[in-house]
Structure 1
């Protein structure tokens, strides 16, 4: 397998993911966030408080990676985490007022990253790509462990 082997789906997806993540991270760095952290805040803004397991499933991310990304958000008081009222073993992630303000302040930067990608890749192709990638996730080939 070479570095540009067209036969490996995983390699092609990971390369594209790292490349695009770099584009978004570079733009969002102006606000002191990485795109993964912004995604967490944005999901909380739209969906409200959720458990670590729910967020992990929502982002298709393992709990360890999610926890690592939550630490700076907690440190900066953008989110809080605490025990669930229903099950004390579960932690609930809550967007703070500062977190809500941060999302709203960072949205123009995210839009700029989005626009940069779409200008270079094509907006129709970007839409098609999002639909194809969503279909990949929805195949259920690999269901993440939810504990």
Structure 2
């Protein structure tokens, strides 16, 4: 994650801000809770940044029909214009990394990591 923080800094944003832009770029709509859970960030951090982004016109939010306590957020046109050079560059770099590392090796690594996580969970959560 430190590498993503360094990447974000090159664009004058924090790694937490990058996570929000990335999540909304690749998923279009997300709740603050989904972003917090997916990127292991504090919900209050996401909430604070989203308030600022909304005030700056970068995101918009609507109240969820399923849960009135949740807001569904998405990028505005201004937000998309801001995020595009950052996220497209990042996605292209990630793809180059995958190509260089190899998809087979990556899938093996992810599979092994999932097995390790399951083992950790079974031992620590029981």
For normalisation by structure 2, the TM-score amounts to 0.62
How many residues align? The count is 118
Give the equivalent residue in structure 2 for 1:64.
44
Pairing 1:131–2:116 present? no
What does 1:1-147 correspond to in 2, within 5 Å? 17=1, 21=2, 23-107=3-87, 110=90, 123=101, 127=106, 131=110, 135=114, 139=118, 141=121
CA distance, structure 2, for counterparts of residue 136 and residue 98 of structure 1: 41
CA distance, structure 2, for counterparts of residue 60 and residue 91 of structure 1: 18
Conserved? CA contact 1:28–1:109, under 8 Å: no
Deviations 1:4-63 (A, max 9, x none): xxxxxxxxxxxxx4xxx2x43344334322222122112112212122222222223331
Flag structure 2 segments of 5+ consecutive residues without an equivalent: 122-126
Deviations 1:57-104 (A, max 9, x none): 222333123223324433332212332233322211121112222222
Higher share in helix? 2
SS at match of 1:94: strand
SS at match of 2:57: coil
CA-atom RMSD, angstroms?
3.8
Displacement after TM superposition at 1:105 (Å): 1.1
Flag structure 1 segments of 5+ consecutive residues without an equivalent: 1-16, 142-147
For normalisation by structure 1, the TM-score amounts to 0.55
Q: Do the aligned partners of residues 51 and 111 (structure 1) sit closer, same or farther apart at CA in structure 2, a change above 3 Å counting?
A: closer
SS at match of 1:24: helix
Displacement after TM superposition at 1:114 (Å): 5.9
